[in-house]
């Protein structure tokens, strides 16, 4: 669903100048400004849910951080740091009991940012849909080879089931996948949502995307965290 620029400004209470300043600063992606013809000529529209969520986040955090810091926090670009097995234990959305399984399947105890997002998605599926450990192992084994190819977080992770066997799909948000209707679609999560959630909630623990963090931000002080081309695995 789209929202017009006029309705967006009225609903959020921000000004035209703020909207385009945030665009220039990289807080609002260029591709969200969608030009469409109208009876008055041409009008700008936005993906409603995304833009409202983003503006609310900016308004909430803009007094605590500079616009440059906010742009880095809200950016969908992949963080470069590696996450250790101990780091995974800090992330509340990742089920502790699955961490040994993840290390076994991936044959390592350090993970990239994209891998952490994927492990979080799998943990959500495990907890919310009563998967077994063997289901988790099979899903991870089926997709592990494709994760290094993912350089952004604009992807969906889908959970599918067929004849009692679970599968996963990682799908570009902009692509359409037509699934065999014999395969049951169980659930989906957006990696962008997981990423934004992590960057805000764990910004102190992992110093996400800050080049010049305050000393207090460098301390081991995690924030509280609440619980929740497609390729077939």
In the chain the domains, ranked by start, together with CATH numbers, are 2-74 (1.10.1660.10), 83-232 (no CATH)
Query: What is the 8-class DSSP label of residue 152?
Result: B
Give the span between the Cα atoms of 1 and 124, in whole angstroms.
26
pLDDT at 213: 32
Rg (CA), the chain: 19
pLDDT at 141: 97
pLDDT at 41: 81
145 bridge partner residues: none
pLDDT at 188: 94
pLDDT at 72: 66
Phi and psi (nearest 5°) for 44?
-95, 130
pTM: 0.63
pLDDT at 30: 85
- Of 47, 44, 38, 41, nearest to 6 by C-alpha is 44
DSSP notation for 125-150: HHHHHT--HHHHHHHHHHHTTTGGG-
Average pLDDT, 10 consecutive residues per value, the chain (233 residues) = 94 95 87 86 91 89 81 65 92 96 96 95 96 97 94 91 96 89 94 85 68 33 34 43
pLDDT at 152: 82
pLDDT at 183: 95
């Amino acid at each position: 669903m789209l929202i017009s620029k006029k309705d967006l400004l009225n609903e959020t209470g921000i000004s035209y100048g703020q909207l385009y300043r945030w665009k220039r600063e990289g807080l609002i992606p260029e591709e969200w400004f969608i030009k469409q013809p109208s009876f008055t000529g041409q009008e700008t529209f936005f993906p409603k849910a995304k833009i409202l969520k983003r503006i609310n986040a900016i308004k909430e955090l803009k007094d605590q951080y500079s616009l440059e810091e906010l742009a880095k926090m809200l950016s969908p670009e992949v963080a470069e740091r590696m996450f250790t097995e101990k780091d995974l234990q800090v992330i509340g959305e990742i089920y502790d009991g699955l961490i040994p399984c993840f290390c076994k399947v991936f044959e390592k105890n350090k993970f990239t940012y994209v891998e952490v997002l994927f492990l979080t998605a799998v943990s959500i599926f495990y907890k919310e849909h009563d998967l077994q450990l063997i289901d988790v192992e099979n899903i991870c084994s089926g997709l592990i080879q494709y994760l290094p190819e993912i350089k952004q977080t604009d992807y969906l992770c889908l959970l599918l089931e067929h004849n009692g066997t679970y599968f996963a799909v990682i799908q570009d948000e902009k692509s359409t996948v037509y699934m065999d209707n014999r395969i049951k679609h169980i659930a989906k999560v957006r990696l962008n949502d997981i990423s934004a959630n992590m960057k805000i909630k764990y910004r102190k623990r992992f110093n996400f995307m800050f080049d010049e963090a305050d000393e207090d931000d460098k301390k081991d002080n995690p924030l509280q965290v609440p619980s929740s081309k497609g390729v077939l695995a």
